[in-house]
Structures are given as C-alpha cells and as structure tokens.
C-alpha cells in the first residue's frame, strides 16, 4: 500500500498505534490485573476509533486551511500568556502570603485555564473572523 498523502499516513499510523496498544494492554492485563495495564486496552480502542473516524473523513477536512491555522496560532499565543500570568500570580501570591499552594494544584490550575482559554479564544476568533467577513461583503 502506497502512502499518497498526509491523511493516509495519519490513518496508517493511528491503526498501527491502536493495534499495538490494544495488544500490549491485553498481554499486560493477562499477567497482572492492575488498572493501569488494563486501561491500555481502552486507550488503544480510542486510538483505533479516532483513526477509523479520520479514515472516513474527506481529505479537505483533515488539513486545516490558512484561516484556521492563523486562528489556532493566535488563540495559542494569547492562551500561553494567560497561563504564564496565572502561574506568576499564583507563585508570587504563595510567596507573599504563604497560602500553601502545592505544585500539583498550580499544575492543574494552569492546565485547566490553558485548555479552557484556548477553546474559548478559538471560538471567539472564529466568530470574529466570520463577522468581519460578512461586514466586508456588504
């Protein structure tokens, strides 16, 4: 089978990774009934499902266009600075007032703020771009 484009590489890589992960999970689960070993089966099934979903999508949906790439870059840039400001504020407030913030709490707060702000900013910039396109058409 010849790999013709990036979509084929994504599907083949996903199918291989999912199959290897499921087989590794089955082998590890047979030797020990630990949750982390048996959870590999579920992770492998999720990878296989996402690869099968990507296989069914048309080529035009897999590769983002220039506008989507620019929106993701802009949202990521602003989300990075929001997370940096959050970590700085948490660090200095803990140093100043001895609140007792654990490193794990700071990690979860930064991850939550980063994911939520990136998603909201992507939505905002997408709607902002759509509105400005409508205004330019008039």
Is the model's pLDDT at 16 over the cut of 90? Answer: yes
Is the model's pLDDT at 88 over the cut of 60? Answer: yes
Instruction: Indicate if 70 and 50 belong to the same structural domain.
Output: no
110 or 2, which is more confident: 110
Full domain range(s) for residue 39: 6-62
| Separation between Cα atoms, residue 81 and residue 117, nearest integer Å | 10
Cα–chain center distance at 90 = 24
CB-based contact 115:138 (threshold 8 Å): no
**Domain's final residue, options 23, 41, 62:** 62
Instruction: Indicate if 70 and 57 belong to the same structural domain.
Output: no
Q: Model confidence at 53, in pLDDT bands (50, 70, 90)?
A: confident
Q: What is the pLDDT of residue 123?
A: 92
Q: Is residue 78 part of a domain?
A: yes
Instruction: Indicate if 25 and 88 belong to the same structural domain.
Output: no
**Mean of pLDDT over the chain:** 84
Q: What percent of the chain has pLDDT over 70?
A: 85
CB-based contact 65:99 (threshold 8 Å): no
Q: Per the structure, how many domains does the chain have?
A: 2
């Amino acid at each position: 089978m010849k790999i013709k484009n990036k979509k084929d590489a994504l599907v083949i890589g996903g199918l291989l990774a999912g199959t290897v992960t499921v087989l590794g999970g089955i082998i590890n689960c047979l030797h020990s009934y630990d949750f982390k070993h048996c959870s590999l089966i579920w992770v492998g099934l999720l990878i296989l499902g996402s690869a099968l979903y990507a296989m069914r999508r048309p080529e035009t949906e897999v590769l983002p266009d220039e506008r989507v790439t620019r929106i993701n870059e802009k949202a990521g840039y602003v989300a990075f600075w929001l997370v940096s400001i959050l970590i700085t504020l948490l660090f200095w407030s803990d140093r100043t007032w001895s609140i007792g913030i654990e490193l794990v709490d700071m990690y979860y707060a930064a991850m939550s703020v980063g994911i939520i702000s990136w998603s909201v900013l992507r939505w905002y910039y997408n709607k902002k771009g759509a509105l400005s396109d409508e205004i330019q058409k008039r």
